[in-house]
Amino acid sequence: MKRSLLVALILLALATFSSRTSLAEDFIPRRQKMPPGPPVSAEEAIKRMVVPAGFTVEVVAAEPDIVNPVAMTFDEQGRIWVTESFEYPRLSAGPGRDRVKVLEDTDHDGKVDKVTIFAEGLNIPSGIAVGHGGVWVANSPDILFLQDTDGDLKADKQEVIVTGFGRTDTHELPNSLTWGPDGFLYGLNGVFNFSSVAHGGKKHDFTCAMFRIDPRKRTFELFCEGTSNPWGIAFNHQGEAFISACVIDHLWHLTETGYYHRQGGPYPPHTWKLESIVKHKHQEAAYCGIHYFDSDAYPAEYRDKLYMGNIHGGCINTDSVAPKGSTYFGTGHPDFLTANDPWFMPVVQKTGPDGSLYVLDWYDRYHCYQDANRDPAGIDRLKGRLYRIRYEGTPRAGAMNFAKLSTPDLIAQLEAGNDMLRSTAVRILAERRDPAAVEPLEAMVLSDRGQKFRLQALFALISSGPLRSEFHAKLLSSDEPVLRSWGVRAAGNQGEIDAALVARVKELAVDADPTVKLQVAIAAKKIKGLEPQATLLTVLSESGDDPQLAQIVWQNLHPLLETESEHFVALLSTIPVSKSPAWPQMLPRSIDRILSSRSASPTAVAAIFALVASGPQQNLDAASACLAILSERVQSRELSGEALAALKTRIDAPIEGILAGDKANRLYTGATLLAATLGNEKALAAAREILKDAGQTDAHRLQAIAAITSSGNSSVLVDALAVVTSEKGSLNLRSGVLASLGRLEDPAVAAQLVAVYAKLDPELRPRTIELLTQRLSWSKLLLAEISAGKISPSSLNASQVRKLLAIGDMSIAAEVAKHWGSVRADRDPDREKVIAEMRTLLRSGKGNPVEGQAVFSRVCGQCHKLHGAGQEVGPDITSNGRGSFEQLLSNVFDPSLVIGASYQARVVLTADGRVLTGLLVEDNEQRIVLKMQGGKLETIARDDIDDVKVSPLSLMPEKLETTIKPQEMLDLFALLTLDRPPSDPEARLIPGTVAIQDREEPSPAKWNELTTQIVPGWNVVRSGEGGVALIGDHFGRSALRLHPTDRNAGAILSRKVTIAPDKKTRLLLNVSYDPRGDWHLRVKASEKLLHEGPVSEKTASGGWQELSIDLTPFAGKTIDLQVLNDPSGWAYEFGFIGRAEIVVE
């Protein structure tokens, strides 16, 4: 297509969308303080940019040559490969409109003048790398290998290398494909993009992770896991990996087998997580891209720096890193570029052939995926820029083609002043695998030239294949730690090496340098002939105060304890692991891991405990932790039967010895509580004293009550109730003691609790009800109190009433019917009426958000966190469920309308007659762990479970409006409708909170200003009489009013939506009519009729008709949804839309 025609089409598209974009310009997107305003041209954009003295910003390419650019790389000819995405944020997989382009500067004036489309039909291609005969593209669910077999710069062959990446979150797709110094292709995946890759006989289930692919063998593996939504990989001179991440800390040094702090989601059992390498922050927290810059085109102070795109900050941040033990520590520097343009979105930073830093700019008004998902039509799909930051008169890049260079010439490029040229030479040498290159490369590595150049030679050798044994031996015995370290790393990647090399790696477990020991720990399980446990424990014994060394040792060690625990214990007597400051932390972890194995070894556990209990003073904290773990396992009955008896036989003597000794012994309390758990009468008496002693810590007192109640001893009841009813103890203590009483089967528990119920702290009463509904006899007594008028029926929420029915007793069912009538087992559709009433109350009254904090703590904080306060049983509502006022109303007053799978309550019936309801935390062969109301974790041994049911209803009860006063409701919502804490001066109301004002708008250019206030994400395509109107109160709620254009054509409300491929999706539609008429409703999906029928007084209830339309049949597809307000008789056929929401379950 000729460029003039392409430009004309783009201009036409711009005109078509002008009314749409005018609305978006007035909207304040997430994490922005004001509307972004209109876009500016690329030339105008660079005029606004601020860079250090001596630097200028140049436009290399802009729309229409590139639009919506996502990923970028340079090839051996200096050409720029860019991926573009029109499809973002589409969830479904399959062919799309996205493509890969090749940009060239044929006249070497610094600007792109030739554009070639290499590949089309892609769907959000989020990463690209060139090498090994083709182009590697991340195109979830696949990693593709595209080839041009006939030399026309068009992909004509495609191979799926890996498949199974998710599309659950399309701003966290596999990304940042980058060649590593070891020849692997590295990439990243985000924390909410659930992926399951089955490859080479192994299955990898993961979210946030760094992965790597061997380009020759086509193998796939996870390099490490954790962080958040990482985007961008940078390797420094030493070949160490750094990434940038969003939301959490921004800079991370990633090490193989490490597991890093996650933004969200559970950690695998027994994880000992690693943290970031920074203490400082830059502006905001949305990072995209990171690049380690080293080029002589810039002055020295700008080299050896990490440059990172900061999307919310509109700038390029700068950090440097310095070694710190086996890892690094990052330090911040002034920003390298400030855009002064809210549309600036730097997604990639790379060094170009001329040595300058290039910045790829997505350029859009919406920074956050929430806005993109809410309003995909508001994404500007016609812009994109590529900039160069040039220092003074840096020469333009000339013609180059490293593929045509001779091997000696390529080796010479390893000493280039520009790291892009060096790394490209490494890749070509690795692909070429020229035997004639081996000797000069080895000589260069062992020479006295600059280290960073010699390492490039080493990377070329390692990337080419197995090292020669003689050379490998020299690396492992080098005076330079970085060479020894890479010698070990290469050995681990090779797997099989000569016996002499294995012996040398074993010796390096006690190397003086922590980076060498780190690689030995990583390689311990990978090198054939190296005994892994002995090697790992030796590294640990020499780890000193380096926390990362100990954590990496543990990550590699703990899987071995599943089957080799007794070997582990035997090694403890021969390897001086107690020298390590981390050893006391590892001991309890070891016992916990051994007890979690399918065939736990009592001998190993007893031996570890004996070792630590008789060891030096610094081990006493570890011994205490071991005692606590043993107690917890017995209390949960995970450790029972023959295994418990065998363990008890082995630990009775040391426990008795501790109990017979000095009470000041730091192990006395832990030993007492374990013995009490096992039923020792003296220990039970001592545990009661601990519980009563206000001078003890809350933790010890809670451990004491847990030990006593798990033994089944009811004599503690009086002492326990004294703590619960006291005003002196903390709420956490009193609540914990109360919850522990659930383990006692004694009817006296219920009798005593109902007797003091009226005197209890108001925050303890709901927890008392929760406890009383756990057992049959207790529930009967509770119902008797309700019948006697001593406890109000309203004290029980709907979930607790359903728990009563779950007991399965006929007399209880009769009492429930008497007090609460028919109890629904599914969602109550009448909740919409309540929402309308609450909407009126909340918009007509005034609340105090500070007072609302107290209401939240009492009513909501037992299960939800907000701005860091409360319990995280259900979602943290700081960032969930409050996207708009209408969404908040629905979630609070109709909580079972949409329930995420992870928030479906489990009802567990136990062998001893308890009924426990909570959210599932862990479910395995040994146990189920529930998170209960109040945040308490309840562990139930698998053998003690009679039945587990999944509730179709939310754990969050309905009818909040009946449990608190109207002013308390106003105060609570005054808090919930603020996007930040009330103390924050920048706090503002969430969208839709302010009452809708009546407004009629005949001009189509302004219709969407009205639409977004009621049904954000939808567009009015056409409407007749009066155009579009906002109605503040129509049968009790706000509405968007439409009208057919004539007798034959209806008004149309439309939106494009991608239906999730593996979840149930519905359109929830609330429609109403003019009291003087009616109208005909049709709902269509890509012209397929989904629903039609009249909307009138006869079809509505309370003025509104509620519809739920299943969109699941369109799973994985992008559809055009239309709601049509059709004429029915040409009399007052106004259509009123109160809700049009896509919900995914």
Q: Which residue has the tokens 């932790």?
A: 625
Q: How many residues does the chain have?
A: 1145
Strand pairing class (1135-1144; 1065-1073): antiparallel
Q: 124 is written with which tokens?
A: 């959000």
Q: Answer yes or no: is 57 within a domain.
A: yes
Q: Taking a C-beta distance cutoff of 8 angstroms, is the pair 146, 118 a contact?
A: yes
Which candidate, 445, 486, 436, 496, places its Cα nearest to that of 466? 496
Helix, strand or coil, per DSSP, at residue 436: helix
pLDDT for the residue numbered 893: 83
Most confidently modeled range among 207-216, 603-612, 722-731: 207-216
Helix, strand or coil, per DSSP, at residue 826: coil
Please give the Cα distance from 206 to 268 (Å, whole number): 10
Over 90: is that where the pLDDT of 925 sits?
Answer: no
Mean pLDDT of 143-163: 97
Identify the residue with better confidence: 596 or 333.
333
Which candidate, 529, 370, 386, 409, places its Cα nearest to that of 66? 386
pTM, two decimals, is 0.77
pLDDT for the residue numbered 17: 36
**Domain boundary residue, one of 411, 443, 465:** 465
DSSP 716-756: GHHHHHHHHH-SSS-HHHHHHHHHHGGG---THHHHHHHHH
Over 80: is that where the pLDDT of 247 sits?
Answer: yes
CATH number, domain of 914, equals 2.30.30.100
Give the chain's mean pLDDT: 89
- Amino acid 852 reads G
pLDDT for the residue numbered 919: 80
- pLDDT, tens only, 38-64: 899 999 999 999 999 999 999 999 999
State whether 421 and 378 are in the same domain.
no
Q: Taking a C-beta distance cutoff of 8 angstroms, is the pair 356, 389 a contact?
A: yes
List the end-to-end C-alpha distance of the chain, in Å, as a whole number.
44
CATH number, domain of 437, equals 1.25.10
Number of domains the chain is built from: 4
State whether 945 and 1078 are in the same domain.
no
Contacts 24+ apart (CB under 8 A), 887-891: 887/1141, 888/973, 888/976, 888/977, 888/990, 889/835, 889/838, 889/839, 889/842, 890/835
- pLDDT, tens only, 277-328: 999 999 877 899 999 999 999 999 999 999 999 998 999 999 999 999 999 9
pLDDT for the residue numbered 1057: 86
Q: Taking a C-beta distance cutoff of 8 angstroms, is the pair 388, 435 a contact?
A: no
- pLDDT, tens only, 517-535: 999 999 999 999 999 999 9
What backbone torsions phi and psi does residue 480 show, to the nearest 5 degrees?
Answer: -95, 120
**Domain boundary residue, one of 415, 438, 465:** 465
The boundaries of the domain holding residue 445 are 402-465
Most confidently modeled range among 100-104, 731-735, 1084-1088: 100-104
Over 90: is that where the pLDDT of 263 sits?
Answer: no
Other beta carbons less than 10 A from residue 470's beta carbon: 9
State whether 893 and 966 are in the same domain.
yes
Please give the Cα distance from 513 to 839 (Å, whole number): 65
Mean pLDDT of 130-138: 98
Q: 1121 is written with which tokens?
A: 């949804």
State whether 1055 and 960 are in the same domain.
no
Helix or strand holding residue 458 (H, E)? helix 451-464
Please give the Cα distance from 287 to 46 (Å, whole number): 21
pLDDT for the residue numbered 278: 96
Over 70: is that where the pLDDT of 883 sits?
Answer: no
Q: Answer yes or no: is 1140 within a domain.
A: yes
Over 60: is that where the pLDDT of 12 sits?
Answer: no
Please give the Cα distance from 135 to 130 (Å, whole number): 5
Over 70: is that where the pLDDT of 541 sits?
Answer: yes
Over 60: is that where the pLDDT of 257 sits?
Answer: yes
Strand pairing class (233-235; 157-163): unpaired
Mean pLDDT of 1121-1143: 90
Please give the Cα distance from 428 to 202 (Å, whole number): 31
Confidence of residue 899 (pLDDT cuts 50, 70, 90): low
State whether 449 and 370 are in the same domain.
no
Which candidate, 470, 514, 517, 447, places its Cα nearest to that of 489? 517
pLDDT for the residue numbered 372: 65
pLDDT for the residue numbered 356: 99
pLDDT for the residue numbered 21: 38
Which candidate, 360, 337, 339, 357, places its Cα nearest to that of 348? 360
Q: Taking a C-beta distance cutoff of 8 angstroms, is the pair 945, 907 a contact?
A: no
pLDDT for the residue numbered 172: 92
Please give the Cα distance from 160 to 139 (Å, whole number): 10
State whether 1135 and 1012 are in the same domain.
yes
DSSP 88-111: TT--S-S--SEEEEEEE-TT-SSS
Crossing angle of the two packed helices 419-432 and 451-464, in degrees rounded to 10: 30
Q: Answer yes or no: is 252 within a domain.
A: no
Q: Answer yes or no: is 37 within a domain.
A: yes
pLDDT for the residue numbered 616: 62
Please give the Cα distance from 954 to 1042 (Å, whole number): 35
The torsion angle over the Cα atoms of residues 934, 940, 946 and 949, rounded to 10 degrees, is 40
Please give the Cα distance from 91 to 967 (Å, whole number): 42
Contacts 24+ apart (CB under 8 A), 815-821: 815/780, 815/783, 815/786, 815/787, 816/783, 818/787, 819/783, 819/786, 819/787, 819/793, 820/793, 820/796
Q: Taking a C-beta distance cutoff of 8 angstroms, is the pair 346, 311 a contact?
A: yes
State whether 1077 and 1104 are in the same domain.
yes
- pLDDT, tens only, 945-991: 888 888 777 777 777 887 788 888 889 989 988 888 888 887 878 76
State whether 920 and 1052 are in the same domain.
no
Q: Which residue has the tokens 């799909």?
A: 381
* 243-268 burial: b if 16+ Cβ within 10 Å, else e: bbbbebbbbbbbbbbbbbbbbeeeee
Q: Taking a C-beta distance cutoff of 8 angstroms, is the pair 345, 311 a contact?
A: yes
pLDDT for the residue numbered 1126: 95
**Is the bond preceding residue 141 a cis peptide, omega within 30 degrees?**
yes
State whether 291 and 383 are in the same domain.
yes
Q: Answer yes or no: is 954 within a domain.
A: yes
Please give the Cα distance from 118 to 100 (Å, whole number): 5
Pinpoint the alpha helices (H) of 597-696: 602-613, 620-635, 641-660, 668-677, 681-692
Give me the percent of the chain exceeding a pLDDT of 90.
58
Please give the Cα distance from 796 to 787 (Å, whole number): 13
CA distances from 369 to 272, 382, 641 (A): 31, 18, 52
State whether 927 and 1011 are in the same domain.
no
Q: Taking a C-beta distance cutoff of 8 angstroms, is the pair 532, 560 a contact?
A: yes
Q: Answer yes or no: is 1109 within a domain.
A: yes
Q: Answer yes or no: is 971 within a domain.
A: yes
pLDDT for the residue numbered 933: 73
pLDDT for the residue numbered 2: 40
Q: Taking a C-beta distance cutoff of 8 angstroms, is the pair 462, 182 a contact?
A: yes
Mean pLDDT of 917-928: 79
State whether 1027 and 921 are in the same domain.
no
Most confidently modeled range among 400-404, 849-853, 1138-1142: 400-404
Over 70: is that where the pLDDT of 370 sits?
Answer: no
Over 90: is that where the pLDDT of 888 sits?
Answer: no
Q: Taking a C-beta distance cutoff of 8 angstroms, is the pair 1131, 1076 a contact?
A: yes
Helix or strand holding residue 917 (H, E)? strand 915-923
Q: Answer yes or no: is 987 within a domain.
A: no
- pLDDT, tens only, 493-502: 999 999 999 9
Mean pLDDT of 362-390: 80
Helix or strand holding residue 21 (H, E)? helix 18-26
Please give the Cα distance from 1028 to 1010 (Å, whole number): 8
Over 80: is that where the pLDDT of 6 sits?
Answer: no
CATH number, domain of 1121, equals 2.60.120.260
Please give the Cα distance from 40 to 49 (Å, whole number): 12
State whether 384 and 450 are in the same domain.
no
Q: 144 is written with which tokens?
A: 């593709």
- pLDDT, tens only, 825-878: 666 677 777 877 787 678 666 789 999 998 888 888 878 888 888 877 777 787
**Domain boundary residue, one of 370, 393, 416:** 393
Helix or strand holding residue 1080 (H, E)? strand 1079-1085
Other beta carbons less than 10 A from residue 116's beta carbon: 13
